[in-house]
Amino acid sequence: MLLRLSDPEMLRAAELLTGTGKAYFGPRAAVMQVCYDKLQATRLVAGKGIDCPKTALGNAPGAPAFPVIVKPRRGSDSLGVRLLGKGPLPKRYRNGDYLVQEWLRGTELTVAFVAGRVGRPLAIALPPGTIYSFSRKYLAAAAARAAAGSPAGNARARGGGTHRGGPRG
């Protein structure tokens, strides 16, 4: 069996399959728990000598200076990632469910780890200063593909059309 579900479902499935002794192809539940806890994962990586952004819980003293990245402590796929240009930190983020990280400007990278093997870092092509959010990863590309066959999609592809929603970037 091959697992590829959203975080909570994948974790529950791995725990269930492990508990019943069923074989599957996917990360162990204990591994997923570490990966989905971004604070624990950051500490683990930093403990191996890899440079990481300064990271603190949303309610911890001594958080990094603005601008900062705020994100849920648990999860993946960049869900809930926000760039805050100036303080103070909004009250909804001042708790142990959120992390505050220094914003590092540079090229966004991704690296795959499979069965103890480390892949080559891949640069993600984004305009400078653009946050690699869930919508950029999944929704924007899907919307572009869906709109490509429509008259509005064709106008946007040629540089026309309108932008709806928040600021670009």
In words, the CATH class of domain 52-104 is alpha beta
Q: Please tell me the distance from the alpha carbon of residue 134 to that of residue 108, in angstroms, as a whole number.
A: 14
Q: Could you tell me which residues come within 8 angstroms of residue 161 by beta carbon, excluding any fewer than 6 positions away?
A: 152, 155
* Per-residue pLDDT tens over the stretch 37-87: 999 999 998 998 989 999 999 999 988 999 999 999 998 777 889 999 999
- What residues have CB less than 8 Å from 152, skipping those under 6 apart? 161
pLDDT at res. 156: 39
Structure token pair of residue 84: 């805050």
CA 60 to CA 62: how far, in whole Å? 6
Rounded mean pLDDT of 110-119? 80
Sign of CA dihedral 3, 9, 11, 12: negative
3-state SS assignment for residue 87: coil
CA 52 to chain centre: 15
Q: State residue 9's pLDDT score.
A: 79
Domain ranges of the chain: 1-36, 52-104, 105-159
Percentage above 90 pLDDT, the chain: 30
